[in-house]
Structure 1
Amino acid sequence: MSDTKSIPQNTLVVVADGHGATLFRTHGVKDALTITEERKLTPHSLASEGPSGSRPEEQSPRQTDEATFAKQLATELFTLKQANKFEHMVLAADPQTLGQLRSALHKTVEASIALTLDKELTNHSAGDIAQIIRNAA
């Protein structure tokens, strides 16, 4: 028996990139873990909102939009956490988005992360994502 930690039942799974995020919920544990989609989040009001913090002058408009969405996603996750919508979270994002998200996440959200996947998974099926989580946990 390996000493891997198990992802708890009902864990929030966030699969994100700079253009959107999909929220899933886990069912079952260990080898029986599956996920179902709860909802999609898309960027909104990017031009009027802007990213948090200072941005390099050489940053492209697309990179600025991605940073703004990371901030929006971090805010949404904090809102869900405050409403007790999740206790544990799996966070999967490409390296760029993951870095932007980490700097924007509230400490209570960050403390909920049970597993981080430094991978682009937005075009994967729920079954594939569940398998990747099972293999990583």
Structure 2
Amino acid sequence: MSMIPDDAMVVVADGESARVFRNIGRQGVLTLRQDETVTFKSLLDDGPSGHAPPEQTEKQTDEATFAKQLSHHLNRGALTNAFTDLVLIADPQTLGQMRPQLHKETVKRIYAEHAKTLTNESLHDIEKALR
């Protein structure tokens, strides 16, 4: 992978949670610091975007709802200039559910995108996967 910019936001997500990091390294050195963890919020009052197929399980609905909530969280960050560069890492299902929800300003800031499941990996292993 190419060099991740200084101060880039790195989001590592799956269908249930996301870990948000900053690259605090300088001059091409990747050093991640975890800033927050994002989890489900009020799923009863929210739902996935679009029409859910009738055979979709409750877990799948919750994961789609979380993908929508995470996308909106990232959109707010992009629109308030909370980050300039975004590295988005999520399992393929979550990534696919997020893409249509991302604002054009968020999409412009995506430096790299990877369909991988790394949410439960250690900080060291996440950094290693990004090198």
TM category (shorter chain) comes to over 0.9
Distance 1:89 1:60 in 2: 31
Gaps of 5+ in 2: none
Question: What are the Cα deviations for residues 45-89 of structure 1, in whole angstroms up to 9, with x where unaligned?
Answer: 112211111111111110011000011001110111111110000
1:48 paired residue among 16, 23, 45: 45
Residue 46 of structure 2 is aligned to residue 38 of structure 1: no
Q: Which structure 1 residue ranges, 4+ long, deviate > 4 Å from structure 2?
A: none
Q: Assess if the C-alpha contact under 8 Å between 1:7 and 1:29 holds in 2.
A: no
Q: TM-score, normalised on structure 2? A: 0.94
- Cα separation, partners in 2 of 1:63 and 1:30, compared to 1, 3 Å: farther
Greater percentage in helix: 1
Q: Which residue of 2 aligns with 1:93?
A: 90
Judge conservation of contact 2:12–2:90 (CA < 8 Å) in 1. Answer: yes
Give the TM-score taking structure 1 as reference length: 0.90
Cα distance change of structure 1 residues 32 and 61 upon mapping to structure 2, 3 Å threshold: same
In 2, the alpha carbon distance for the partners of 1:66 and 1:30 equals 37
Q: Residue 73 in 1 paired to residue 70 in 2? A: yes
State yes or no: 1:10 paired with 2:7.
Answer: yes
1:20 maps to 17
Matched-pair identity in % = 47
CA distance in 1, matches of 2:63, 2:99: 13
How big is the shift at 1:96? 0.5
1:109-128, Cα deviation, whole Å (9 max, x unpaired):
11111111110001111121
SS at match of 1:81: helix
